[in-house]
């Protein structure tokens, strides 16, 4: 049955729904149980889900059309424009964004040559790799935190050791290094980024 020369239903609908739920399952595994659990910044929770879902349906829909090279490059150009017109992302958030887009494209564009077992195995390998990297990252790398510091005289280079000891005493953590950012002499405060082992 057709309406305005467009079929109302075809068998690809079932394929789309099944692959969407596979995609949603692995998106949840990555965003909620790996990224959200191991990172202090929760701002990108909505963004990762929204981009993952939209990219999946975009790719699944476009798969039905024969795209030339110009159209494919145009799609990537749109993502590039969005990237440069927004607030710069940290390297880690940018990596997660790339992973989310990657698995959504993979789940949408896989064809008959790729079985569901292969799709699930590929997704599982990505999730396992991210989980392992997060564990490795936590145990071997430093975390960073931005704080507002009010003892303004300690930001002088001669007082950096005093500043470090003061921060360690207040926060109860061993600070490996720190970086002084914006200084507000009107309020006698400075924004300091500290790096420490969790």
pLDDT at 173: 83
Higher pLDDT, 1 or 30: 30
pLDDT at 84: 54
**Residue 105's pLDDT band (cuts 50, 70, 90):** confident
**Residue 25's pLDDT band (cuts 50, 70, 90):** very high
**Residue 141's pLDDT band (cuts 50, 70, 90):** low
Return d(Cα 181, Cα 152) in angstroms, integer: 12
pLDDT at 71: 58
What pLDDT digit, counting tens, does each position of 42-65 carry? 777 788 888 888 888 877 777 766
Higher pLDDT, 23 or 89: 23
pLDDT at 150: 87
What pLDDT digit, counting tens, does each position of 144-157 carry? 788 888 888 888 88
Residue 13: Cβ within 10 Å count: 9
pTM for the whole thing?
0.58
> How would you classify the pairing of strands 2-3 and 143-149?
unpaired
Q: Is the pLDDT assigned to residue 74 strictly greater than 70?
A: no
pLDDT at 85: 54
**Average pLDDT, whole number, for the chain?**
78
Which pairs with CB-CB distance under 8 Å and at least 24 residues apart come from 34-39? 34/127, 34/130, 34/131, 34/134, 35/96, 35/130, 38/134, 38/137, 38/138, 39/92
Domain layout of the chain by residue ranges = 2-140, 143-196
What pLDDT digit, counting tens, does each position of 164-195 carry? 888 888 888 888 888 888 888 888 888 888 88
**Residue 6's pLDDT band (cuts 50, 70, 90):** low
Higher pLDDT, 171 or 8: 171
């Amino acid at each position: 049955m057709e309406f305005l020369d467009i079929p109302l239903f075809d068998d690809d609908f079932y394929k789309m729904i099944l692959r969407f739920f596979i995609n949603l399952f692995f998106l949840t595994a990555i965003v909620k149980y790996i990224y959200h659990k191991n990172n202090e910044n929760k701002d990108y929770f909505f963004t990762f889900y929204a981009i993952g879902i939209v990219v999946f349906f975009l790719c699944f829909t476009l798969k039905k059309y024969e795209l030339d090279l110009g159209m494919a490059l145009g799609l990537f150009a749109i993502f590039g424009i969005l990237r440069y017109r927004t607030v710069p992302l940290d390297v880690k958030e940018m990596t997660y964004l790339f992973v989310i887009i990657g698995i959504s494209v993979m789940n949408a564009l896989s064809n008959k040559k790729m079985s569901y077992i292969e799709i699930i195995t590929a997704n599982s390998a990505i999730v396992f790799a991210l989980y392992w990297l997060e564990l490795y990252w936590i145990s071997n790398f430093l975390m960073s935190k931005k704080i507002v510091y009010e003892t303004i005289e300690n930001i002088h280079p001669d007082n950096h050791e005093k500043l470090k000891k003061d921060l360690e005493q207040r926060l109860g953590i061993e600070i490996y290094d720190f970086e002084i950012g914006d200084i507000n002499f009107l309020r006698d405060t400075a924004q300091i980024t500290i790096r420490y082992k969790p």
